[in-house]
Amino acid sequence: MPEFQEIRGRLGTVFEKRVTFIVGATRWGTAWVQQCLDAHPDVCAKGEGHFADILFPRVAELIDEYNSQCDKIGNRLQVAGLPGNAAGFSYDDVDHLLRTAVALMFQRWLAAGDEMCIVEKTPEHVVSMDILARIVPDARFIHVVRDGRDEAVAAWEFNLGLSKGEFPRTYPTFADFAEVFAGNWNRSIDAARRFARIHGPRVLDISAEDITNEPGREAERLFRFLGIDADADMIRACADTAWDIAPLDLEAGSWRQAFDDAADRAFIRQAGELLKLLGYRQ
């Protein structure tokens, strides 16, 4: 029991810190932001929790199955005229379980324990910001955007490098991949924009292109958003560290060398209006 009390005490302090989630339909941009923030001594930005896309759905499935089985047992007792109630978890109980799981992960990441901010980066969380905001009510979000065409090229090359043959079988041409990627890119950014319309002050939009052009300025914006003090020397050091660890995998506009007419038409079909809205296409 003393050990339980100690763990509970540590978990209670986790959400006293400023929790921020880095999200976005970009692999490189979110990595740069994470490394830039983690270079500051007041920030812990250690990894990808995959809470909403992996952990939460599986916990929910387990609880649903458990509640279903408990209902059967409860009915059996009542039919037999025996005293007893079915066990089970309520909706609020599930949120508490998920919140506890997030706190357990975060407290393991904390190095010295006195960091002011905890930052988690899972790009896929961009479509689950509302769920994360419910589980961590005071959380903030950094939404990283990049020209989807450049990101499509980077993702194509990355997956080809990892694939043992399944990826090229699924996408025989780059145009096939570009159309699917464009649809996902469109949905991801649309989800973030919908969330920001309701929770505006809790969301910071940052573009990979702005990071490339003015890394110091964008790093300053990040620390200001988190409420972290950082002078010019610290900002420069954090930005330089991020470039060393997460260098840009593709220069802005490089998609023009990789896209053929078929890929261009496919991407425009899925995300042409969003490209215009974000200023990536005239």
pTM of the model: 0.92
Q: If you average pLDDT over residues 1-10, what whole number do you get?
A: 72
Q: Which of 256, 262, 223 is nearest to 239 (CA)?
A: 223
Instruction: Dihedral sign for Cα 107, 112, 113, 118, please.
Output: negative
Which tens digits make up the pLDDT trace of 228-278?
Answer: 999 999 999 999 999 999 998 888 999 999 999 999 999 999 999 999 999
Domains, the chain, with CATH or none = 2-50+117-277 (3.40.50.300)
Which tens digits make up the pLDDT trace of 163-183?
Answer: 878 999 999 999 999 999 999
Across 1-5, 38-42, 168-172, 240-244, least confident range: 1-5
pLDDT at 75: 62
pLDDT at 276: 97
Q: If you average pLDDT over residues 150-171, what whole number do you get?
A: 91
| Per-residue pLDDT at 111 exceeds 90 | no
